[in-house]
Chains A and B, each alone.
Chain A
Amino acid sequence: MIECRDLVKTYINGDVETNALKGVSFEIKEGEFVAIIGPSGSGKSTLMHIIGALDTPTSGKYILDGHEVSSLNDDELSDIRRTKIGFVFQSFNLLPRTTVMRNVMLPLLYSNTSEKEREQRALESLRYAGMDESKKNNLSNQLSGGQMQRVAIARALINNPAIILADEPTGNLDTKTSHIVMKTFQDLNAKGHTIILITHEEEIANFAERVISIRDGVVESDVVKKL
């Protein structure tokens, strides 16, 4: 389902070049639950953005469901992001001054979904993400870091995407809530969703079946756990 071949990402800022990815290759099959770990600055988020069709590699191939992503046009990329992928950003990226509900419903914009159904699905997602329903009309900037994180997760779930990508989804959560969220991911995985998440906590990585470890822009190890 996901195939990365020799992905390279080089950021150029003026005359400073940063090689965030230096040739990353792996394959992820449908229904897998993968954790990506690695030290800060090793290129995890960069890799995740490419997998999420949010950014393009400098060189190398990224094939998603048989389509070479770099050959798709802007609208096709948008459609993929909306229908196939749920992305949880490391920095949440919620709309400022906007209610929790509207943030969660954002991916349903311009779809043929009725207002009632949108709300229903948003509430369901919020519950799934372990978010207190009483906060649904709070503005995004009136939330705690952990609450924002759960809103971001709920937003990623609303379209029931085949692939869920989460960049440090438990970074701002206490152990108890982290476990609730991870259980949710396990649950979703059991229902057939492919889950890829970034973490630097060993304990969180243990929820996954496979752990890819990245260091300095290359894959250091790729371990499939025997259950």
Chain B
Amino acid sequence: MFIDLLKETLWSLTGNKVRSSLTMLGIVIGIASVIAMVAIGQGAQSSISASIESIGSNLIIVMPGAQRGGGISAGRGSAETLTMDDVNAIATQVPDVKAVAPEVSRRYQITAGGNNTNTQVVGTLPTYLDVRNVQVDLGSFISTQQVQASSKVAVLGPTARDDLFGTDANPVGQSIRVNGVGFTVIGVTVLKGGAGFTNPDDYVYIPITTDQHYLAGNSFVSDISAAATSPDNIAAAQQEVTDLLLNRHKITDPTQADFNILNQADIISTASSVTGTFTALLASIAGISLLVGGIGIMNMMLTTVTERTREIGLRKAVGVRRIYINLQFLAEAVVLTFLGGFIGIILGWLMSMLASHFLSMTTQVSVSSILLAFGVSAAIGIIFGFYPARRAAALSPIEALRYE
């Protein structure tokens, strides 16, 4: 009996390949698009938060404020208000800050032998390693002595190294020229893999004193990164740094501050609200494809209802009991939706793999999107495959045979 049911189901599905494959197509499209879209959205979300986290932990960033004069603002970050004295003051006077790393950064043309690249050159202190979560892969990072001596030494990010010396080369001891000034390479940092507007893997680090002396030509700093002693102390540290700098800059009204200060938690929450919107957008596109797929399934099932009703009438006429007819049609719907669902899941997964491979997007296939997409299509497939059949099986054979 069970064998008969199986055979009838398979015969019926393979006997009308167009019908079967069109129905399955609706399911495949619906499921695959939901999975791929959600994977891309969530991938983007997690890659953005990962790249924000990769810049450090418990981080507070102080940037110069807008330059003011006669009520005209020249834009945030344009003023030169932060100095090495501010850096030292934060390092010594704020108890909730465990390390401080100033940055003087600007893009320069860099050459090494025949190769050249244009990238961000960051003048900083040895504390940068700690504050910004940077690790050294080859050689060593800038030392305190090198800072004191304004040594012309450079540490390359892996991408900058690849561009200048070739992939995976060991450039330690080689020389490069930054804006015409010669530097000796002393190390390469570990790949972070973070993507974003500025890629730390493409940085070139030099001692801050060297930068100020040979490249920038002044003693201001572009920004100051400070690491709080623990995640719980971020807010306190931010407040203390703000108070200290207001005091040092002799500003009484905090709204007139000549610097901006933000912390990593703020950046992460802003970024994740943006990526959340992005994911929601993708999910709604996917939802529409799921709907379209669902209508496709429904349509296919309903257009074949006439023919199938006759078939049901005939089966009943030769004495097949109603339960077997119901079971057969249920089995057909289940096989179609599960097969289609399976293909859809594979396809959606493949699409996300392709997206991450060719469009270098991070993708993350989520189980809940698979369950949701599969649940919806399976429900549609089974309801519209089974319900009309059940109704037809309740008719008298003659009524079913005459159905139009």
Contact = CB atoms under 8 A, between A and B. Distances in A.
A129 to B, nearest CB: 15
A98 B15 contact: yes
Given A82-B318, A155-B318, A110 B4 contact: yes
Interface in B346-404: 394, 396-399, 401
* Residue with the highest number of chain A CB atoms closer than 10 Å, among B8, B310, B320, B323: B320
Nearest to B16: A97
B343 to A, nearest CB: 24
Contacts of B314: 93, 95, 106
A40 B4 CA distance: 40
Nearest to B396: A55
B8 A109 contact: yes
A56 to B, nearest CB: 7
Contacts of B322: 74-75, 78
A109 B401 contact: no
A96 interface: yes
A75 B11 contact: no
B294 to A, nearest CB: 27
Contacts of B307: 96
A102 interface: yes
B316 A78 contact: yes
B72 interface: no
A224 interface: no
B311 A54 contact: no
B106 interface: no
Interface string A53-79: 011100000000000000000110011
Nearest to B3: A115
Interface string B1-42: 100110010010001100000000000000000000000000
A81 B317 contact: yes
Contacts of A112: 1
B319 interface: yes
A98 B7 CA distance: 13
A93 B314 CA distance: 7
* Band of interface residues on A: 20 to 34
A49 interface: yes
Contacts of B318: 81-82, 87, 106-107, 155
B108 interface: no
A75 B397 contact: no
A109 B316 contact: no
B397 A110 contact: no
A51 to B, nearest CB: 12
A83 interface: yes
Given A55-B396, A110-B1, A87 B317 contact: yes
A75 B5 CA distance: 18
Interface in B306-334: 307, 310-311, 313-324
Contact of A56 (B5, B320, B396): B396
B35 to A, nearest CB: 34
A196 B32 CA distance: 57
Contacts of B310: 93
A83 B318 CA distance: 9
A81 B319 contact: yes
A54 B317 contact: yes
A95 B398 contact: no
B396 A78 contact: no
Nearest to A87: B317
A78 B311 contact: no
A116 to B, nearest CB: 13
Contacts of B398: 49, 54-55
Nearest to B401: A93
A96 B16 CA distance: 10
A83 B320 CA distance: 11
Contacts of A109: 4, 8, 315, 320, 324
B319 A83 contact: yes
B15 A78 contact: no
Contact of A55 (B15, B315, B397): B397
Nearest to B314: A93
B396 A82 contact: no
Given A55-B397, A110-B1, A97 B320 contact: no
B397 to A, nearest CB: 5
Nearest to A155: B318
Nearest to A74: B322
- Considering the complex of A and B, which 6 residue pairs feature the smallest CB-CB distances, nearest first? A82-B319, A81-B319, A55-B398, A107-B318, A54-B397, A78-B321
26 contacts: A55-B397, A75-B323, A79-B319, A79-B321, A81-B317, A81-B397, A82-B319, A82-B320, A83-B319, A87-B318, A89-B317, A93-B313, A95-B311, A96-B311, A97-B15, A98-B15, A102-B11, A106-B314, A107-B318, A107-B320, A109-B4, A109-B315, A109-B324, A110-B320, A110-B321, A155-B318
Given A75-B323, A81-B397, A96-B311, 12 more contacts: A55-B398, A74-B321, A75-B321, A81-B316, A89-B317, A93-B313, A93-B317, A107-B320, A109-B4, A109-B8, A110-B321, A159-B319
